[in-house]
Amino acid sequence: MEMEKVIEVKQLSKRFGNFTAVDAITFDVYKGEIFGFLGANGAGKTTAMRMLSGLSVPSSGEAKVAGFDVYRQTELIKRHIGYMSQRFSLYEDLTVRENIRFYAGIYGMSDAFIRDKTASLLQQLHMEAEAGKLVKSLPLGWKQKLAFSVAIFHEPQIVFLDEPTGGVDPVTRREFWNLIYEAAASGITVFVTTHYMDEAEYCSRVSIMVDGRMDALGTPAELKKQFDAASMDEVFLRLARKAVRTAD
């Protein structure tokens, strides 16, 4: 069976003046995959993610996200993806229900859809009693689960998660990965960055960026074999230490 490509990237580059932030990266991401996007600070991850989410126009190369072109169809891309980061997710001064309503409204969901789905979502998250509470009053772990659910509320084809688990306790971190697995099993493609190397093991495939290039791509098992390493941590260190440029 031919796997369906939801992200197709060919020779994609981004230059700022004479600095090449992303240097001709080529890769595909398949439907329902958990795609780990790793790299040291300054390796070009954020720039690449901004291009793939329609926020930054590439300097050269080609890319399609959810079937849409990253040069000409950025608005369509934005409608068909979800995004969540640890830093920015929910409005603290809005209630749980208001946050859901707000994000769903931004994505143009109908009132009926929002009403029905909000009810089932609150039930699924066991948060019916909290629907009217301000988000800032929730424990961090709940906020995170809610943020993720809000990011995929409009049923996007792809969800981009930018360091979603930073600073979270180890139990909540694993509960969060459970949600990621469920989303992937339901057909949503998950594109995730992380600094936790054990989480790299949970991905279907992992890519590692070094100095704007994509220096490694494969399943965790393949990469460990290729780099003759015992763990993903070792693979990462081996590659990232080669970096000439740094975040500095």
Question: How far is residue 151's CA from residue 171's CA, in Å, rounded to a whole number?
Answer: 22
- Tokens linked to 53: 């989410």
Does 37 bind another protein (CB under 8 A)? Our answer is: no
Q: Considering only 15-23, 69-77, 125-133, 161-169, which stretch makes contact with another protein by CB under 8 A?
A: 161-169
In angstroms, what is the minimal distance from the CB of 24 to another protein? 22
In angstroms, what is the minimal distance from the CB of 112 to another protein? 34
Work out which of 155, 163, 218, 229 binds another protein, going by CB under 8 A. 163
Which residues ranging from 172 to 231 are in contact with another protein (CB under 8 A)?
172, 174, 177, 181, 195-198, 201-202, 220-221, 231
- Pick 28 or 163: Cβ nearer another protein: 163
Do 144 and 172 form a contact (C-beta atoms < 8 A)?
A: yes
- Pick 72 or 87: Cβ nearer another protein: 87
Does 236 bind another protein (CB under 8 A)? Our answer is: yes
Does 233 bind another protein (CB under 8 A)? Our answer is: yes
Does 17 bind another protein (CB under 8 A)? Our answer is: no
Does 16 bind another protein (CB under 8 A)? Our answer is: no
Other Cβ atoms within 10 Å of 243 Cβ, number: 19
- Pick 126 or 136: Cβ nearer another protein: 136
Does 133 bind another protein (CB under 8 A)? Our answer is: no
Does 32 bind another protein (CB under 8 A)? Our answer is: no
In angstroms, what is the minimal distance from the CB of 101 to another protein? 26
Question: For the chain, first and last CA: distance in Å?
Answer: 45
In the complex, which residues of this chain contact another protein (CB under 8 A)?
Answer: 39-42, 139-140, 163, 166-172, 174, 177, 181, 195-198, 201-202, 220-221, 231-233, 236-237, 240-241, 243, 246-248
